[in-house]
Amino acid sequence: MNIKLIRMTFAAAAIGCLPFALFAETAEEKGLAIAVEADKRDEGFGDSTANMIMELKNKQGDTSTRYIRIKTLEVIGDGDKSMSIFDEPADVKGTAFLTFSHAVKPDEQWLYLPALKRVKRINSKNKSGPFMGSEFAYEDIASQEVEKYTYKYLRDETLNGIDCFVIERYPAYKHSGYTRQVGWINKEEYRPEKIVFYDRKNTLLKTLTYDGYQQYLDKYWRSDQMFMENHQTGKSTKLSWSDYQFKTGLKDRDFNKNSLKRAK
Amino acid sequence: MVELYTQMIIRWRYLVILLTVATVMGIGYGAQKLSFSNDYRMFFGQDNPQLLAFEKMQNTFNKNDNILFVITPKDGRVFSTDTLAAIQDITEEAWQIPFSTRVDSITNHQHTAAEEDDLVVDDLVVDPSALTEDDLSRIQSIAINEPMMVRRLISPDSRYTGINVTVQLPGERLDEVPTAVAYARGMKAKYTEKYPNLDIRLVGLTMMNNAFPEASQDDGQNLYPLALGFIIITLLLMLKGLSGTITTFLMIIFSIVTAMGLAGWLGIRLSPPVMSAPIMVLTMAIADAVHLLVTMKHEIHLGKNKVDAMVESMRINFWPIFVTTLTTVLGFLSLNFSDAPPFHDLGNIAAMGVAAAFIYSITFLPALITILPARSTREVTGKYAMGHFGDFVIRHYRSLLIVSSVVVLILVAMVPKNELNDVFVEYFDETIDFRLDSDYAAENLTGVYYIDFSLGTNESGGISNPEYLKHADDFVQYLRSQPEVIHVFSLTDTFKRLNKNMHGDDPAWYKLPEERNLAAQYLLLYEMSLPYGLDLNNQIDVGKTATKIAITLETLSSNEVLAFEQRISEWLQQNMPELEGNGTGPTVMFAHLGKRNINSMLVGTTVALFLISMVLIVFFRSLRYGLISLLPNLLPAAAAFGIWGLFVGQVGIALSVVTGMTLGIVVDDTVHFMSKYLRARREKGLDAKQAVHYAFNSVGIALLVTSVVLVAGFMIMAQSHFELNAGMGLLTSVVITMALAIDFMLLPPLLIKLEENGEIRV
């Protein structure tokens, strides 16, 4: 057998394998690719403001409502900055909460307490505690940077008639409250339709479903209604969003300790 | 009628045996469906008000079943780098216990501190290996001065510490409790080996739940072989023949299999009280067989062949056995009036078993005994002794009547010495780990009795109201001044601590915030800083209208719990009538159960008594003798409770069912004695004295023997490691003994006395 023939054989074999190499994307790579694409589609919104109504319900059926305004500033290359201003209940009116969210480091958090007229920095590595006593942890509603998780594509599935990718993601943050989350990502729009959370012992904890998606600026999808159900305690929380505004001209200086006091 | 029936049974005996075996196998198959209940809530009916209040509390806050690791470093130092590292290690893994939702320990306690304008929130112990002696004593001083921890997670002397794991069971599958417990025990084994300096014990409600099936299985393993050995010996002694012993043994086993099989088909769950059902069935079933076989032997002795002897025995015994079965069934069914569902199950299974024993006694037993060889043997011994005893009773009937009446009256007068009281940890005796570990925990670290108190306003967010906080704090201080109280967990302590933190950790500010908005904002701030699982949802309801104050108590009796409950609700009523306060929890539920059960069993026993008296009136065909029989039926239980009052004095939920249950059993003695007495009067035309003599002669020995058997059977039950069963067995034994005494020494003199003044037509 001459050397030329051998070379040709190898070359042919290599070319023959090429399509397989393209398809031989691992489940991890595919999961990451989906997350990257979803992130890309939400890129460039600049800033946004919205009103949120939070309704808490316990197993007994008692409910309680809070009203919050949220301003967000997109930060390229890191977690977003956000400010939450509480309007109701009356006794926390004017309380404002500023967060610089980070992917794998503790978030930076400040709270302005009008009753004390002081800004307090919360020095805590915890991101998984309940947000205002709800079933949402702060890490559930904070911006979802790609680096916050590692990913794995599981399968395709139709959810309520919507074609979805089902991907699993694993928190990169050491103090996260979860071992993993399973998300149903709309194939067409790359937006989450449902996320299932598994606690530290990897048992089913919560399910978050998104409803009433609206598109803003012909690009950004936001859900009107997010419903979180805790399967272990029987409690649930509904977030209803309204008055979304984008590119309102918010700047970095609107997200610092001084702006907190003025927030109202 | 009965003769014809018996002849038919004997003619088709092989078919009867085949059918019996097939039936037993078919029904017995259901026993495979039996499973152990492992939830203390089984003791409460669905509409039990304390259970409903408890469920409401759990739905408003969170469920709070728990596993508490009680950890004792052998060197006596919790605050050493090694021990803290171990605690941290165990705390970390405890999150992995199936169904755990929260883990609290001294290492993951969320310590708050001020640093300039920062509020620092972190685990109390972060990196144990890096701690210096100074750090250790600082941490120790924080822990033992923190009201949230001291006497709950750390003993004041720092020698014992606890890791409390909150367990939230979905309640969908029976293996939830054992799964969680198995994991916790695995951890105990693993960490005892990894850290030889540590002694680890497991207590808490989940451990108690798990102790129920373990106590049940324990009873099954220890008592059942004892009971089986007991019947074999009894039967050999009494029947003196292998044929009778084998037949009766099979009949009894069939009855038990039938009862438990039916229980399986009906979906009944096994609980410790239910575990005593087989022993009861076994004990009761012996009597049926003994009556039939002793008469049969007697007839063979007189020269009949075994078939004729059996026919004659059936003729004589059929109706008495039927009536005693009926009354026994009624007595057991009265347990359905109990407030605690496991006793319904016990009553129903025992009733089914006793009914099955009757059916097999009149089908399978005559069929098999006439197949097996029968030898003519000696007459049953003791008959003449009984006759002499009868004569003695007749001779001294006047003085006996007085003496017996006086003794019974004295005993009845002792009944009020009984106090309705229960200590539910003591349901398990000291051979059961759960009990030992609970006692250890109560002695060294913290209590094992919990009362959760919901203190509520009508106002949304009202818990931040300074007035509410002041009231809540007063209440907490009041509770802490009560001698039974070991620990009080309250949000008011958190408020004080936060207020101090917000003022640069100045101890002067360790007090409640004085303004509503400030309090609400502190709470918001604090909630934002808490980690997964350690939030405030278990202390505050969603509307922030109520907080849960968790009280840990010493081991108390039910009376003491009720008194405590009464005292604190009166205090609340007096001092803060505008607040809604409700205490619940298993401690309160069990404390109320005894009283509720007594009341419901009073109704049940009355109904059973009425029905049984009706049966007797019909059976004796005499209102007069039906009514006279009330006396020997009721007095044994009363006298037994009198004896109990003298020697024990505490009556719990189990004992409240004994009267109803034993009623059906003690009636049997009366039925046998009175039916013989009446037969002598009516058929043989004897006078009262002669009839009493006849009754003693014909059933005296049988009554003595069956009573001995019953007492022995129930004394086996009394060996249970589960206190409810043990107490029930012991008291039932006393009742049966009293019944025999009354039937021999009070009833006959009474019968004679009543007819002193001339003959009465019977």
pLDDT tens-digit profile of B61-101? 877 789 999 999 999 999 999 999 999 999 999 999 999 98
Contacts of B527 in chain A (CB under 8 A): 129-130, 132-133
Q: What is the mean pLDDT of residues B374-391?
A: 68
A237 strand-pairing partners: A56, A228
Q: Is the pLDDT of residue B458 over 70?
A: yes
Q: Is the pLDDT of residue A1 over 50?
A: no
Chain B residues close to A129, C-beta within 8 Å: 527-532, 534-535
Mutation choice for B interface testing from A60, A88, A91 by most B CBs within 10 A: A91
**pLDDT on residue A21:** 46
**Average pLDDT of span B412-440:** 87
- Report the pLDDT averaged over residues B726-753: 91
**DSSP-based three-state secondary structure for A166:** strand
The shortest C-alpha distance from A56 to chain B (Å) reads 6
Q: pLDDT tens digit string along A87-110?
A: 988 888 888 988 888 877 788 888
ipTM above 0.95, yes or no: no
Strands (E), A141-258: 149-159, 162-171, 180-186, 192-198, 204-216, 220-230, 236-246
CA distance A228 to chain B (A): 15
pLDDT tens track for A250-261: 888 888 888 888
Q: Quick one: pLDDT at residue B382?
A: 57
Which residue, B186, B178, B200, B179, is CA-closest to B93? B186
What's the whole-number average pLDDT of chain B? 88
Task: Kindly tell me the sign of the dihedral angle through the C-alpha atoms of B471, B477, B481, B487.
Answer: positive
Q: Which pTM does this prediction carry?
A: 0.85
Q: Do A235 and B542 touch (CB under 8 A)?
A: yes
Determine the Cα–Cα distance for residues A197 and B96; give it in Å rounded to an integer: 16
**Mean pLDDT confidence for B432-440:** 91
**B401 to B82, B84, B396, B626, B745: CA distances (angstroms):** 76, 74, 8, 20, 7
Encoding tokens for residue A96? 């404002």
CATH of A3-261, one of 2.50.20.10, 1.10.10.10, 2.30.30.40, 1.10.3720.10: 2.50.20.10
| Residue of chain B whose alpha carbon sits nearest to that of A55 | B542
The residue with greater pLDDT, B349 or B523, is B349
Q: Is the pLDDT of residue B686 over 60?
A: yes
CB contact, 8 Å: B518 with chain A? yes
Residue B761 has pLDDT above 80, yes or no: no
Coil/strand/helix, residue B418:
coil
How many CB pairs below 8 Å do chains A and B form together? 155
Model confidence pLDDT, tens digit, residues B394-420: 899 889 999 999 999 999 999 888 888
Q: What percent of chain B has pLDDT over 70?
A: 98
| Closest residue in chain A to residue B504, using alpha carbons only | A120
Tokens (6 digits) for B318: 């059929």
Residue B351 pLDDT level (bands cut at 50, 70, 90): very high
pLDDT tier at B384, thresholds 50, 70, 90:
low
CB-CB neighbors (< 8 A) of A177 in chain B: 531-533
Across the interface, of A57, A177, A201, the residue whose CB is closest to B100 is A201
User: How confident is the model at residue B669, as a pLDDT?
Assistant: 85
pLDDT recorded at residue B57: 85
Q: How far apart are CA B404 and CA B750, in angstroms?
A: 10
Domain regions of chain A by residue span? 3-261
Tell me the mean pLDDT in the region A170-197: 89
Contact at CB, A111 and B461, closer than 8 angstroms: no
From residue B82, alpha-carbon distances to A212, B87, B110, B132 in Å are 54, 9, 21, 12
Which of A87, A233, A235, A238 to mutate: most B Cβ within 10 Å? A233
Lowest-confidence range among A166-175, B117-126, B348-357, B532-541?
B532-541
Q: What is the pLDDT of residue B88?
A: 94
Which pLDDT does position A19 carry in this prediction? Answer: 46
- Cis, bond preceding A89 (omega within 30 deg of 0): yes
- How much of chain A is helix, strand and coil, in % rounded to 5? 20, 45, 35
Strand order in the sheet with B198-203: B100-104, B161-167, B65-73, B198-203
What percentage of residues in chain A have a pLDDT greater than 90?
24
Candidate from A31-35, B249-253, B270-274, B578-582 with smallest mean pLDDT: B578-582
The 3 state secondary structure assigned to B659-712 is HHHHHHHHHHHHHHHHHHHHHHHHCCCCCHHHHHHHHHHHHHHHHHHHHHHHHH
Residues with Cβ within 8 Å of A32's Cβ and at least 6 positions away in sequence, in order, are A146, A150, A151
How far is the alpha carbon of A89 from chain B, nearest alpha carbon, in Å?
7
Q: How far is B189 from chain A (nearest CA, A)?
A: 20
Distance from the Cα of B517 to chain A's closest Cα (Å) equals 4
Residue A12: per-residue pLDDT = 53
- Beta-carbon separation of A92 and B540 below 8 A: no
pLDDT in tens, A218-242: 888 989 999 999 998 888 999 999 9
User: C-alpha angle with apex B21: B16 to B24, nearest 5 degrees?
Assistant: 120
Q: Which residue of B has its CA nearest to A107?
A: B529
Residue A199 predicted with pLDDT over 70: yes
Interface touch B529/A122, C-beta < 8 Å: yes
Cα separation, B2 vs A139, whole angstroms: 82
The crossing angle, in degrees rounded to 10, of helices B747-754 and B658-682 is 50
pLDDT in tens, B200-239: 999 999 998 898 888 888 888 888 888 888 888 888 887 7
CB-CB neighbors (< 8 A) of A133 in chain B: 527, 535-537, 540, 542, 544
C-beta atoms of B119 and A122 within 8 A: yes
Q: What is the pLDDT of residues B288-338, one digit of tens each?
A: 888 888 888 888 888 888 888 889 889 888 988 899 899 999 999 999 998
CB distance A122–B56 less than 8 Å?
no
Amino acid in position B457:
T
B123 vs B105: CA distance, rounded Å: 10
State pLDDT tens for residues B98-132.
999 889 999 999 888 888 778 888 889 999 989 99
B572/B456 Cα distance (integer angstroms): 12
A121 vs B63, B117, B530: nearest CB: B117
The pLDDT of residue A11 is: 53
Residue pLDDT, tens place only, B27-74:
999 988 888 888 888 889 888 888 988 888 888 887 778 999 999 999
B759 or B528: whose pLDDT is higher? B528
Q: Can you give the pLDDT at residue A18?
A: 46
**What percent of chain B is predicted at pLDDT more than 90?**
36
B376 — pLDDT class (breaks 50, 70, 90): low
Count CB atoms within 10 A of the CB of residue B620: 22
From A233's Cα to the closest Cα of chain B, the distance in A is 7
- For residue B380, what pLDDT is reported? 54
Alpha-carbon distance A217 to A219, whole Å? 5
Q: Of B101, B73, B67, B85, give the one whose Cα is nearest residue B183.
A: B67
A204 → chain B, closest CA residue: B99
Q: What is the pLDDT of residue A24?
A: 61
Query: Is 90 exceeded by the pLDDT of residue A198?
Result: yes
Tokens describing residue B83: 């021990």
Task: Please tell me which of A16-25, A75-84, A172-181, B632-641 the model is most confident about, judged by mean pLDDT.
Answer: B632-641
Long-range CB contacts for residues A65-69, cutoff 8 Å, separation at least 24: A66/A132, A68/A132
Bridge partners of A216, per DSSP, are A220
How is residue B628 written in tokens? 């006279």
Q: Write down the pLDDT at residue B379.
A: 55
CA distance B520 to chain A (A): 6
pLDDT digits (tens, 9 = 90+) for B143-186: 999 888 999 999 999 999 999 999 988 888 888 999 999 999 99
pLDDT at A3: 53
